[in-house]
């Protein structure tokens, strides 16, 4: 179980770093769905790993980071639905 949770944490870290690198290199839009999904997955995975390790400040940070990602995705969905009407 520890190995699985470590792998989840590393995958989350990789997703966050990939998103940051892609936006920084202008290969991905910072206000797009793909970037927000990378952030949401990454933060959720790191939150699980941090909670398992009892690293509560990190778990709390990633909880907030995930909430921001969810809010951004909801906003993007509403904008797209509004445009489609």
CA distance 69 to 65: 6
Task: Please tell me whether residue 12 adopts helix, strand or coil conformation.
Answer: helix
Whether 65 has a pLDDT exceeding 70, the answer reads: yes
User: What does the block give as tokens for 31?
Assistant: 């206000």
Determine the distance from the C-alpha atom of residue 50 to the mean position of all C-alpha atoms in its chain, rounded to a whole number: 14
First to last CA, the chain: 47
CA distance 73 to 76: 5
- How many separate domains does the chain show? 1
pLDDT tens digits for range 21-33: 999 999 999 999 9
In which domain, by residue range, is 49 found? 2-84
Tell me how many degrees the CA angle 30-40-83 measures, rounded to the nearest 5. Answer: 55
Q: Which pTM was predicted?
A: 0.88
């Amino acid at each position: 179980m520890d190995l699985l949770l470590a792998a989840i944490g590393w995958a989350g870290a990789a997703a966050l770093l990939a998103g940051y690198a892609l936006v920084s290199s202008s290969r991905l839009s910072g206000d797009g769905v793909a970037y927000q999904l990378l952030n949401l997955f990454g933060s959720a995975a790191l939150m699980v790993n941090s909670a398992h390790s009892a690293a509560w400040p990190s778990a709390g940070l990633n909880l907030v980071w995930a909430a921001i990602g969810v809010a951004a995705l909801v906003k993007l969905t509403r904008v797209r639905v509004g445009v489609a009407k």
